[in-house]
Amino acid sequence: MTLTSGPAQARHLATAIPGPRSLELMARKEHAVARGVGTTMPVFAVRAGGGVVEDVDGNVLIDLGSGIAVTTVGVSAPRVVDAVRGQLDAFTHTCFMVTPYEGYVAVAEQLNRLTPGTHEKRSVLFNSGAEAVENAVKIARAFTGRQAVVAFDHAYHGRTNLTMAMTAKSMPYKQGFGPFAAEVYRAPLSYPFRDRADGPAAARRAIDVIEKQVGRPAAVVIEPIQGEGGFIVPAPGFLPELAAWCRANDVVFIADEVQTGFARTGALFASEHEGIVPDLLVSAKGIADGLPLSAVTGRADIMDAAHTGGLGGTYGGNPLACAAALATIETIEAEGLLERARAIEELMKDRLCRLQEKDDRIGDVRGRGAMLAVELVRPGTTEPDPELARAVAAAAHAQGVIVLTCGTYGNVLRFLPPLAISDELLNDALDVLAEGFRA
């Protein structure tokens, strides 16, 4: 089965970007949609498939964003479309808490099988990443009888009240939206490009802050590779040391794998790269190829600490989303997408490192699998250069390449291509980026 559906797989500029029809729609958006919802590109989509998005003006854009790491197996992947169509004909909703259905149980079984560790596990399903993170914290509190939660510098965990408190960056996520949830504490991260510390040293620094300023929390919550915070890969040894401290102190170790999960980094979950086994693992984004679904999976004794009726939600584990998740997992396994993610890493890192050799504004090239980034700085320093990141992204957008920025300092260009993208499209996009750096 092919991974590609929809438009022809080549970049094509039919108009300037944005084109006239997108501009009309942007004007309607401004009058109809709250301005709090921003857009990376003022371009309206009509079709997408493989590694491209086609807009209302007939432009075909190369997708290096996957709708923020969601359409990892390829947008509207054929197996997903078939599975969701079949479920649509059967039923759209009954509410799992009223009359349950097999799809939910099957997704839970798959998550219990696929997440790190061979211990007895349970899963529970929700709608969004933030909702799942909140529930992981609820479960850890119920299990430990403690309240404090430790999150890290540069963390991103969502936009709801508790997850805003856990998210580090004020603007745009938190400013003006407080007061925030109580009992959330922040520890220093391992950020090799900036702190130059090895993993165990960075872990000791974090553990010292936790022991001295918090004591014994209910949970430590961390992204194994930070997403919005700048695609920061902690130094080797940092995560294992932290997980070991949690185990020794009966603190629940929660991996937020919302962005890193589901084959994105060349492993099914990024925890595997460091050999850690989280007590609870949160997944969302890539789990169901764009249908809203999220999950908490973990140790049966911890998961079952929440009383019956204490977890759930009207839509959580919607049957269409469950059908999509099962087809997404089947696609990853049948199409060898873990290998594909590693091949994308090799191709892109090689080209990005060659760019870096000639350009001292590229301070760091990092990431794993199809979750890669460059951190941009003023030449010869580590001083962030967000203007350059914005300018290169704008140049890429004008040439029909969807690329996102991120990072606490806004100076990181991040690349999250769908694994269904061709090498030709990747190379074309990298040519466009190289030209953007020259201009």
Ligand X SMILES: *Cc1c(COP(=O)(O)O)cnc(C)c1O
CA atoms within 13 A on the CB side of 279: 28
| 284 sits near ligand X (criterion: CB under 6 A) | yes
Nearer to ligand X, 218 or 232 (CB): 232
Distance CA 26, CA 273 (A): 42
Of the candidate spans 150-158, 273-281, 305-313, 352-360, the one that interacts with ligand X by CB under 6 A turns out to be 150-158
Distance CA 364, CA 374 (A): 6
| 227 sits near ligand X (criterion: CB under 6 A) | yes
The DSSP annotation for 43-80 comes to: --EEEEEBTEEEETTS-EEEESSHHHHT-TT-BT-HHH
Nearer to ligand X, 164 or 429 (CB): 164
| 157 sits near ligand X (criterion: CB under 6 A) | yes
Helix (H) or strand (E) segment spanning residue 210 = helix 199-213
| 154 sits near ligand X (criterion: CB under 6 A) | no
Which among 145, 367, 117, 111 has a CA at the least distance from the CA of 250? 145
Nearer to ligand X, 7 or 129 (CB): 129
Nearer to ligand X, 5 or 161 (CB): 161
Contact string (CB under 6 A) for ligand X, positions 197-226, x = contact: --------------------------x---
- Cβ atoms of residues 389 and 363 within 8 Å: no
Which among 86, 87, 85 has a CA at the least distance from the CA of 104? 87
| 156 sits near ligand X (criterion: CB under 6 A) | yes
Q: Minimum distance between the CB of residue 202 and ligand X, rounded to whole angstroms? A: 19
Q: Minimum distance between the CB of residue 278 and ligand X, rounded to whole angstroms? A: 13
| 325 sits near ligand X (criterion: CB under 6 A) | no
- 256-275: contacts with ligand X (CB under 6 A): 256, 258-259
Which among 55, 37, 305 has a CA at the least distance from the CA of 159? 37
| 305 sits near ligand X (criterion: CB under 6 A) | no
Contact string (CB under 6 A) for ligand X, positions 112-141, x = contact: ----------------xxx--x--------
| 158 sits near ligand X (criterion: CB under 6 A) | yes
Which among 71, 15, 21, 101 has a CA at the least distance from the CA of 418? 71
Distance CA 252, CA 146 (A): 10
| 345 sits near ligand X (criterion: CB under 6 A) | no
Distance CA 14, CA 352 (A): 28
Which residue ranges make up the site for ligand X (CB under 6 A)? 128-130, 133, 156-158, 223, 227-228, 256, 258-259, 284-285
